[in-house]
Each structure stands twice: as structure tokens, then as C-alpha cells.
């Protein structure tokens, strides 16, 4: 009796990088890469997004400030995927696919965009956290922001 082996699905590191950059907060790259526990990250993000609706100002709510962590993790993973050598990516994420990744400028552009967007979003998030904490402590009493 002859068995048929279906080749493993070949994953693109550029697609993984773009998913992590643009939708990393909900774990889209985890679903694409087939990671276990992707549903937990997605559920966590949607729960935090739903809890944000309970506050009058979404950007000054604790659930939004907690979402800064998976947002930052998504940007970091996007950089890791984009800058990983093709051979190393294939060894780790495409064993048995029979194909080789050959990325060029696509990965470099993804890394550049991720650096600029991720840096801006992270700085915005840190500023919001500082303002939130300083206001809660009372250090900004009497100051108009």
C-alpha cells in the first residue's frame, strides 16, 4: 500500500512580516504561521477592544494602554521575520515544503515601514501611558493638556 504525503504549506516571510506589522495586535501572523495559542491572542485583543468601549475616551483607557504590549510585540516580530535569513526562515517555518524562499527588497521595505510605523506607534503609546499615570498621580493637576 502506497501512502501519499502532502507537502507542507510554504509560508512567506514577507507575508508574515506584513501581517505582524499591520495586524499583529490581533495575532494575524500567528494564525498564518500556524502557531498554537493564536486564538488566545486574538481573544485577548478583542476583549480589550470591547472593554475600551466602556470608557468615554478610548485612548485614555486602561484596556487601550494594555494593548500597547501586543502592538509592540507585533512590530518586533515583523522585524524579526523581515530580517531573518531566508535559509533560517525556511529551516524553522517551512520544513518539508520543498520550496525555498527567495526574498529581495520586499522584506527590506517591510522592515523599513515596520521601523517607522512601529516607532511612531510605540512613542505615541508611551506618551499616553505617561500622561495617564501622571494624571492619576496628580502631577498634572492645574495643567491644561
- Per-residue three-class SS string for the chain: CCCCCCCCCCCCHHHHHHHHHHHHHHCHHHHHHCCCCHHHHHHHHHHHHHHHCCCCCHHHCHHHHHHHHHHHHHHHHHHHHHHCCHHHHHHHHCCCCCCCCCCCHHHHHHHHHHHHHHHHHHHHHHHHHHHHHHHHHCCCCCCCC
pLDDT digits (tens, 9 = 90+) for 10-60: 899 999 999 999 999 999 999 999 999 999 999 999 999 999 999 998 878
Q: What is the pTM of this model?
A: 0.84
pLDDT digits (tens, 9 = 90+) for 56-104: 988 788 899 899 999 999 999 999 999 999 999 988 988 877 788 888 8
Amino acid at each position: 500500500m502506497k501512502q501519499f504525503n502532502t507537502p507542507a504549506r510554504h509560508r512567506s516571510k514577507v507575508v508574515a512580516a506584513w501581517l505582524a506589522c499591520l495586524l499583529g495586535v490581533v495575532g494575524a501572523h500567528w494564525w498564518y504561521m500556524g502557531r498554537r495559542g493564536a486564538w488566545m491572542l486574538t481573544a485577548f485583543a478583542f476583549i480589550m477592544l470591547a472593554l475600551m468601549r466602556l470608557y468615554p475616551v478610548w485612548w485614555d483607557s486602561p484596556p487601550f494602554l494594555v494593548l500597547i504590549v501586543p502592538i509592540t510585540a507585533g512590530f518586533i516580530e515583523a522585524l524579526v521575520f523581515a530580517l531573518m535569513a531566508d535559509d533560517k526562515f525556511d529551516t524553522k517555518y517551512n520544513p518539508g515544503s520543498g520550496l525555498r524562499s527567495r526574498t529581495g527588497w520586499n522584506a527590506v521595505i517591510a522592515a523599513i515601514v515596520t521601523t517607522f510605523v512601529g516607532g511612531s506607534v510605540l512613542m505615541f503609546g508611551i506618551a499616553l501611558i505617561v500622561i495617564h499615570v501622571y494624571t492619576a498621580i496628580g502631577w498634572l493637576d492645574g495643567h491644561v493638556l
